[in-house]
Amino acid sequence: MDIKVRLIEILKKENYTFTQLAEYLDMSEEELTNALEQKTLELRSLELISKTLKIPLYSFFREEDEINKNTKPYYINKLWEGNKEI
């Protein structure tokens, strides 16, 4: 499954459209589609999508059955607490 199809599925579940996502990224639908198909979308854009839709960044690159859903996503772990490292 390609990234655009995954994104559309997630967007649909969250009641958003691909058009809205493209606008949010300040791109046209065609530009976003081309970037996804040619795998030229900048990492910061994928990261922004990931944070906005609250999905792990790695989910764009792994099949659903490869993802361990019992582990806490890395992006919500606190690495430092005050002056102490955890």
Q: Of residues 77 and 22, which shows the higher confidence score?
A: 22
At 10 the pLDDT is 87
79 vs 35: CA distance, rounded Å: 33
Range of the domain at 31: 3-85
Query: How many domains, in total, are found in the chain?
Result: 1
Rounded to an integer, the average pLDDT of 19-27 is 93
At 39 the pLDDT is 86
Using 50, 70 and 90 to split pLDDT, how confident is the model at 52? confident
**Cβ contacts of residue 61 below 8 Å, gap of 6+?**
none
Rounded to an integer, the average pLDDT of 33-50 is 90
CATH number at residue 56: 1.10.260.40
